[in-house]
Amino acid sequence: MPDAQQAQPNILQAQDLRIGHGRRIVAGPLTFSIRPGDIIALLGPNGSGKSTLFRTLLGLLPPLGGTLRLDGLPLAQWRRRALAQRIGYVPQSWGSHFGYSVLDTVLMGRAAQLPAFAQPSARDRMLAMVAIERLGIAHLASHSMHAISGGERQLALIARALVQDAALLIMDEPTSSLDFGNQLRVLEQIRQLRTQGVAVLLSTHQPDHALAVADQIMALMPGEPNHLLGPGPKHTVATPENLAALYGVPVEMVRARMV
């Protein structure tokens, strides 16, 4: 008898998906599905197609083959506003000419849930502050995004995605610019999202982070085009042999036991 997690319908499903730019296929065929509460980590070297895959899943690039469905409907049939209510995105970096405060930036995550031309409510501001506090940056709420560090900006972007209240969060290397303490804080927040039924697809260059938080791992392996290994149980995908083939360097894994 399947467990409750297995019985959940797919949020996102890719079947024989091919991704790329113009007519050039970067990776494919890719087949995977994401259910509520799933945490899936995507591994791959620079240039393997991780960001291209994410842009395709967000509807910013058209698939070059195969099918891509959100809640059972082809992704191309979704309007941008409805798509933003279902999928949140944490980019690798942030850029703006405007000096928005951290609080205002996080509050922008509520826009997809508001009626057209509506102003954020007191509840929206409360949710934004709760997210800021969860990420440990409440003391920066009134600071300009231009006046804080790159790592602090990344935490603000993660808080913005949290308040979007989306069913699926796509995170492009969410810990890449963070110090050790903030990396652990973000990984713990990702773990907690599982208990809320939120699905997470994250890319990372650190296999140990994938092993720490993910239920499943998939990897974009080198080839012409690149191809997908997994998704599968993390200890069967992230083996020393597979990681060595993925990154082109010898890999040895050491298991540590807490005492």
Q: Using one digit for the tens of pLDDT, what is the confidence trace for 134-180?
A: 888 999 999 999 888 888 888 898 888 888 888 999 999 988 878 89
pLDDT at 129 over 60: yes
Contact 101, 141 (CB under 8 A): yes
Please give the structure tokens belonging to residue 153: 């900006």
Give the pLDDT of residue 120: 86
Give the pLDDT of residue 48: 92
Name residues whose C-beta falls within 8 Å of residue 216's C-beta, 6 or more positions apart in sequence: 38, 39, 40, 41, 230, 231, 232, 233, 234, 237
Give the pLDDT of residue 61: 94
CATH superfamily of the 4-247 domain: P-loop containing nucleotide triphosphate hydrolases (3.40.50.300)
pLDDT at 6 over 90: no
More confident residue, 117 or 51: 51
pLDDT at 15 over 90: yes
Least confident window among 33-42, 91-100, 196-205, 216-225: 91-100
Residue 259's pLDDT band (cuts 50, 70, 90):
very low
Instruction: Record the pTM.
Output: 0.87
Contact 57, 170 (CB under 8 A): yes
Please give the structure tokens belonging to residue 258: 């807490």
Q: How far is CA 75 from the centre of its chain?
A: 17
Domain ranges of the chain: 4-247
